[in-house]
A and B are shown apart, each in its own frame.
Chain A
Amino acid sequence: MTLDPVVLARVQFALTVMFHYLFPPLSIGLGALLVMMEGAYHWTGDEEWERLARFWTKVFAVNFALGVATGIVMEFQFGTNWSTYSRFVGDVFGSALAAEGVFAFFLESGFLAVLVFGWDRVSKRAHFFATVMVALGATFSAVWIVIANSWQQTPAGFALVAHHGVMRAEITDFWAMVFNPSSVQRLVHVMLGAYATGAAFVASVSAYYVLKGRHGNLARKSLALSVLFGAAACLAIPASGDTQARTVARTQPAKLAAFEGLYRTQARAPLSLIGWPDDARRETRFGVAIPGLLSFLVHGRVDAPVTGLDAFKAEDLPPVAASFLLYHAMVALGVLLAALFAVSAWRLRGGRLFGDRLLLRALVAGVGAATAANQLGWCAAEVGRQPWIVYGLLRTKDAVSPSVPGRDILASIVMFGVVYALLFVLWLGLLDAKIRRGPEEAEAPRPGGFLGAAAELADPSGGSLTGEEEGR
């Protein structure tokens, strides 16, 4: 068996980036919620908000540490596995990455220390300031990395220049590079996805407490805040997705055609709700489609033609079935999550949500859908860009490190596989322990009062949240 370095390098990148991306959305979303909780404490003086902020900070710290540890891998990997790509894009991509380091990482990591360890060392105001700075830092890092990735999707502000005999992209206009055609829209989408994930995570744990009758008012407050935040984020996502899809249609038509399984260029192009793209027959089978809706969404007119896959050479096409399925799975989960948050927010009126055990259970599970939607969305974005690593400029197969043999990559995949599997189990275990312990109570020795105690007695296992998830 020959070991293809391109396939292996892609597998390794997918493995490491997907594992890494478990953490940043949680950090961004949870960071925003921490600002709200601590802000609410300063605004109202209600100590329960502070206790919540303290509890969620501990959870935040664990996620953040793993995000940092797995993030370094990503930064190094451009050089280790994709050296040809690094030589090609360094002039453009590098400055975004350096800006990320200078503006985002130092801000985040510095104030994180105050956020996590500084509760008793600095004034409450200073602590709140640190919380805001960490949330801001998490946002900045998303900004720069999404800019860099968007440049790969829709390159702008550069010229191809021969550098010592090898072509590379050089910046001609920094701001055109930063505000390339897709960066703002993609950033908004990524941020909303992160907010929804953070909200879904907090809602999940809080709903679990409410179900178990633990932490009384604290759990309800946490649940209410996260549900409202999640609903707001989720309701904005369709609008952001729609503008983005129109940009994709304009800038990466092959990608859009693959997302939609549109083999033939046509007016009144249908929007497939479900289906299975069949490359051999060059049609999307078993589908349910709404005629003309795709044309309408893309061009605002039902009879406008939408470019199909037939407009491109075979070697310029992304894998259609994978793009279609990943994209549709993301949309489906996003719709599900939005519905869940919307109904939950509605049921918050009069506190009916807190007694609705079915909806609470759904919220416990919701974090899985949110995380999956984030992962699927990125997979769709990256698979849909294929066969290009930089759209229209550099092919993925030409971008790897020529000096790194396949067996070395295979060995490192095995290493990352083992290490990440271990980390994943430990992370779940640690989260589980933190969640079981829960926020500190003010005085009550029994969490959640008499009813809570009764619920605890009825369920001696303590009802492990992550245990439940693993069992599913």
Chain B
Amino acid sequence: MNLRVLWFVLLGVLLAGYAVLDGFDLGVGILHPGARDDRERRIFMNSIGPLWDGNEVWLVTFGGALFAAFPEAYATAFSAFYPAFMILLCALIFRAVSMEFRSKRDSRVWRRAWDGAFFLSSLTAAVLFGAAVGDSMLGIPLTAAHEYAGGFWDLLRPYALLVGALNAAMFAMHGAIYLHLKTEGELQRRVRRWMWHSFGVFLTLYLLTTIVTLIRVPRAIANFAEMPWLWGLVVAEVLALANIPRSLYLRRSGQAFVSSTAAIAALVALFGAALYPNLIVSSLDPAGTLTIANAASSQRTLGIMAFIAAAGLPFVLAYTAIIYWVFRGKVELGKFSY
């Protein structure tokens, strides 16, 4: 396989890994206001306590890999989305420290303030990620020199916000299913209701987004004609989505979690299928469009990085598996908890 295509796919894998793993983290944050007392709030935070940091590394590595493999796209996207990235950074910082700081003091005001920060930052990050995907689907105004020619408000389009809302709903659903695995008793019964509600919201937004995408972004399915096997992704997506209510009904939350994981991964893959071979589409000057050809690093660098990835990936998967195995089971609050 062509190295540029390989790195397009690997970036998709990193993004999917991030969406699946940090997705439930952010979802737990979005659902956090639903916790009724201090113990429940701590259970929520500690359900992701040992894991969120490792999950966020997927985003960091995605950023690093984008920088390395497609520096033109990294430079253009990050400078174009400047204010959005600053807000995202702010959200990620507050999310990290709100978990770290919250339970360190016994003051009610202190804890409520960090609870609020945890919720808001999780929601903001989820919406911004979705909006970034929406803007990538629509394309952004770029000059022939690949420089952004719009302003902040050009990015806050209804479609981008719709995808933002879809992403938040998807993460909330994923987070609810995750929490169901991690909680017990009365709390778990409430979480069960949230799974259904968030699935309903997600499904509605999903159908709406699909329809709007087909109307607004006809380019999105252009690749399907040439590569009919992409329809397999659509089938996988539909099957995964359909299996969520089925397993919820059958009370198999483990299977529901696997299904929502598959649904998120398939959605990221469909996003990739819609973009390919573009990375960032210019809505202004077609010469401004960044593709895997004109944005890529040299073949040598892509080859070195493929080697680094091949050498490192088995370790990464091993660590991830070990950590999830060590921290399996229901949340127990102990002296090492947040």
Majority SS of interface residues in chain A? helix
* CB <8 Å contact, A83 and B79: yes
* CB <8 Å contact, A106 and B301: no
Measured between C-beta atoms, what is the minimum distance from A167 to chain B in Å? 13
CB of A453 within 8 Å of the partner chain: no
CB of B80 within 8 Å of the partner chain: yes
Query: Which residue among B56, B77, B297, B311 has the maximum number of chain A CB atoms within 10 Å of its CB?
Result: B297
Chain B hits for A174, CB < 8 A: 300, 304
Contact among B78, B97, B300, B334 for A120, CB-based, below 8 A: B334
B-contacting 9-mer, from A109-117, A325-333, A390-398: A109-117
Measured between C-beta atoms, what is the minimum distance from A186 to chain B in Å? 21
B-contacting 9-mer, from A66-74, A238-246, A269-277, A311-319: A66-74
Chain A hits for B105, CB < 8 A: 433
* Count of CB-CB pairs between chains A and B under 8 Å: 233
* CB <8 Å contact, B298 and A91: yes
The interface on chain A, measured as residues whose beta carbon lies within 8 A of the other chain's beta carbons, has a size of 70
Measured between C-beta atoms, what is the minimum distance from A283 to chain B in Å? 43
Known: A68-B56, A114-B323, A423-B93. A91 touches B63 (CB 8 A): no
* CB <8 Å contact, B53 and A65: yes
Known: A78-B67, A171-B301. A430 touches B104 (CB 8 A): yes
Query: Which residue among B54, B71, B90, B148 has the maximum number of chain A CB atoms within 10 Å of its CB?
Result: B71
* CB <8 Å contact, A106 and B68: no
**Which residues from 36 to 94 on chain A have a C-beta closer than 8 Å to any C-beta of chain B?**
61-62, 65-66, 68-73, 75-76, 78-81, 83-84, 86-87, 89-94
A105 vs B57: C-alpha distance in the bound complex, in angstroms? Answer: 6
Chain A hits for B316, CB < 8 A: 102, 106
A65 vs B52: C-alpha distance in the bound complex, in angstroms? Answer: 11
Contact among B96, B298, B305 for A68, CB-based, below 8 A: B96
CB of A164 within 8 Å of the partner chain: yes
CB of B65 within 8 Å of the partner chain: yes
Chain A, Cβ-Cβ closest to B87 = A415
Contact among B75, B148, B298, B322 for A110, CB-based, below 8 A: B322
Measured between C-beta atoms, what is the minimum distance from B83 to chain A in Å? 6
Chain B hits for A70, CB < 8 A: 93
CB of B294 within 8 Å of the partner chain: yes
A119 vs B336: C-alpha distance in the bound complex, in angstroms? Answer: 8
CB of A216 within 8 Å of the partner chain: no
Q: Which residues of A contact B (CB under 8 A)?
A: 61-62, 65-66, 68-73, 75-76, 78-81, 83-84, 86-87, 89-95, 97-103, 105-107, 109-114, 116-122, 161, 164, 168, 170-172, 174, 401-404, 408, 411-412, 415, 419, 423, 426, 430, 433
Q: Which residues of B contact A (CB under 8 A)?
A: 49-51, 53-54, 56-57, 59-61, 63-65, 67-72, 74-83, 85-86, 89-90, 92-94, 96-97, 99-101, 104-105, 145, 147-149, 152, 294, 297-298, 300-301, 304-305, 308-309, 311-313, 315-316, 319-320, 322-323, 326-327, 334, 336-337
By Cβ-Cβ distance, the 8 closest A-B pairs, closest first, are A90-B71, A79-B78, A94-B68, A101-B61, A102-B312, A113-B50, A110-B319, A83-B75
